[in-house]
Amino acid sequence: MADLRAQYERLKPEIDKAINEVLLSTNFVKGPEIKKFEDELAQYLGAKHVISCGNGTDALQIAYMALGLKPGDEIITTSFTFIATVETMALLGLKPVFADVDEKTFNISPAEIRKRLTPSTRAIVPVHLFGQCADMEEILRIAEENSLYVIEDTAQATGAEFIFSDGKRKKAGTMGIAGTTSFFPSKNLACYGDGGAIFTDDDELARKMRSIANHGMQERYHYECIGVNSRLDTIQAVILRVKLKYLDSFNEARQKAALFYDEAFASCPEIIIPGRTENSTHIFHQYTIRVLNGKRDLLKKHLQSRNIPTMIYYPLPIHMQKAYRYLGWNEGDLPVTEQLCKEVLSLPICPEIEREQLEYIAKSVLEFF
């Protein structure tokens, strides 16, 4: 789906040098490189604080913990996301409440959020799916009217920008009280293992997040709250420092590839290309089409026979997963999400994808129809 090897080869001298310096310094955990990366990412995002941690799942858990969310608190989120968004709520005893998504952008629908509000609602967790921001202007309005926290799951959208109706632009993850991201190798800003981060402009919340990520420790061996052990390795931090410099150009290359696909599929009546909104840039973590008339799985098979990998993000919504049946949701409760799960197909995309590859993939898709 993504050519990680080609990207490494492009950056090899810089990355190898950075890793070697860590090996010689023996600062494998913590140390000045972590702070440098956090400061550089904060500057890039326009966030006051970046707190690095072990992965994007931990980032969500630490954010929920630091905000003091309690068992039974209702959190409105999407059922059309990677499991981590919801799993971390379940682990803390929070109650995920699902709002259906917009069929064009795949993102949580503000109108559906409104329908799910109750006196127990404490937070909204939008996921900027596939690299495009959810409708943050409307989500922030709902949150303000109802005194709710907004925690943005930005794992697929690091570097995407939301554009408010007054023209103001903000980076994904910097609009709510907190944003979280992942540096898993396939993400837009990625390291060579696991990594994650939390963003916030709130000084006290940032202090609390740092403490929770470090066992709840305040001074050495004095614990103010129950925490976890979640750190970004120094080797991952120096890799990320190299890659952050290229993030915008990588995202632009993804946009170019997406445009090629868009044009290739524009006249195919059985494909719906990814919907765009004027309120957000789209950095194409995934290029995800909808295949109509029940032909998705056959197209997937056809592409497989042409040696083209594809993925289904996601085949079964969270509210219909066995582990989450206890929440009491049934098939039919989220019709748009359920329909999308039957139609979506993600095609290969990465900054290094070549024109020839795009042409071959597009031709193979079209010959199927």
Ligand X SMILES: *Cc1c(COP(=O)(O)O)cnc(C)c1O
Out of 109, 132, 174, 182, name the contact with ligand X by CB under 6 A.
182
Confirm if 174 and 50 have CB atoms less than 8 A apart: no
Cα angle, residue 177 at apex, residues 171 and 180 outer, rounded to 5°: 60
Asked if 286 is part of the footprint of ligand X (rule: CB under 6 A), the reply reads: no
Asked if 341 is part of the footprint of ligand X (rule: CB under 6 A), the reply reads: no
Asked if 196 is part of the footprint of ligand X (rule: CB under 6 A), the reply reads: yes
Asked if 125 is part of the footprint of ligand X (rule: CB under 6 A), the reply reads: no
Asked if 190 is part of the footprint of ligand X (rule: CB under 6 A), the reply reads: no
Out of 57, 200, 251, 310, name the contact with ligand X by CB under 6 A.
57
- The structure tokens 């980076």 sit at 171
Q: What is the b/e burial string over 212-248, where b = at least 16 CB atoms within 10 angstroms of the residue's CB?
A: bbbebbeeeeeeeeebbebbbbbbbbbbbbbbbebbe
Q: What is the b/e burial string over 333-367, where b = at least 16 CB atoms within 10 angstroms of the residue's CB?
A: ebebbbebbebbbbbbbbbbbeeeebeebbebbee
Helices (H), the chain: 4-25, 32-45, 56-66, 84-91, 110-115, 136-146, 203-213, 234-244, 247-265, 296-305, 335-343, 355-368
- The structure tokens 């967790």 sit at 125
Asked if 152 is part of the footprint of ligand X (rule: CB under 6 A), the reply reads: no
Out of 162, 184, 250, 287, name the contact with ligand X by CB under 6 A.
184
- Closer to ligand X at the Cβ: 149 or 184? 184
Q: How far is the CB of 325 from ligand X (least distance, A)?
A: 21
Asked if 55 is part of the footprint of ligand X (rule: CB under 6 A), the reply reads: yes
The 8-class DSSP code of residue 267 comes to T
What type of residue sits at position 196? G
Point out which span in 30-38, 55-63, 110-118, 263-271 binds ligand X (CB under 6 A): 55-63
Point out which span in 21-29, 33-41, 50-58, 248-256 binds ligand X (CB under 6 A): 50-58
Site string for ligand X, 233-252 (x = CB under 6 A): --------------------
- Closer to ligand X at the Cβ: 15 or 190? 190
Out of 62, 155, 344, 349, name the contact with ligand X by CB under 6 A.
155
Confirm if 345 and 301 have CB atoms less than 8 A apart: no
Q: How far is the CB of 153 from ligand X (least distance, A)?
A: 5
Q: How far is the CB of 154 from ligand X (least distance, A)?
A: 8
φ/ψ of 96, rounded to 5, equals -70, 135
Point out which span in 38-46, 80-88, 224-232, 335-343 binds ligand X (CB under 6 A): 80-88
Q: How far is the CB of 88 from ligand X (least distance, A)?
A: 9
Asked if 156 is part of the footprint of ligand X (rule: CB under 6 A), the reply reads: yes
- The structure tokens 């989220």 sit at 334
Q: How far is the CB of 91 from ligand X (least distance, A)?
A: 13
Tell which residue, 76, 72, 147, 80, has the closest CA to residue 116.
76
Asked if 56 is part of the footprint of ligand X (rule: CB under 6 A), the reply reads: yes
What does the alpha-carbon distance between residue 225 and residue 348 come to, in Å, rounded to a whole number? Answer: 44
Asked if 127 is part of the footprint of ligand X (rule: CB under 6 A), the reply reads: yes
- Residues forming the site for ligand X (CB under 6 A): 55-57, 81-82, 84-85, 127, 153, 155-156, 182, 184, 194, 196
